[in-house]
Amino acid sequence: MPTDEKPPERNYCHLLDHRKYNRNRGCQLHDNAYGIAGGGSESDRYVADTEFYRRMRDQNDPMAIPALLACRGFGWFFFNYHPGYWLWRGQMVRRFVKAQS
């Protein structure tokens, strides 16, 4: 039976509390730029990371700089590289973690 309850909000932020500083929307946009609706070259990844940082900075989030450093340092593992832009195509994480069939 339908209810008036809101469905639970999906948490897009890893290792951060998504309820603080309006982080969840920024994390969602960053995830989309990295994967399903994005990807591309290393310069596209840089743009996605800096937009994520600016969004956090504009919300006065104290984790803006650590999040930027983490994205720049480890984001290559999750970014969806398009053919011809990097040593591999797609997301490196998918080469290690296979979806169950």
- In the chain, the number of structural domains is 1
The whole domain housing 58 covers: 23-96
Name residue 70's amino acid.
A
Tokens 């960053």 — which residue?
30
Residue 75 covered by a domain: yes
Neighbours of 51 (CB within 10 A): 14
User: 45 is written with which tokens?
Assistant: 């990844």
Residues of the chain with pLDDT under 70: 1-2, 85-91, 93-101
Phi and psi angles of residue 40, each rounded to the nearest 5 degrees, phi first: 130, -130
In this structure, is residue 57 part of a structural domain?
Answer: yes
Token digits of residue 8: 């639970």
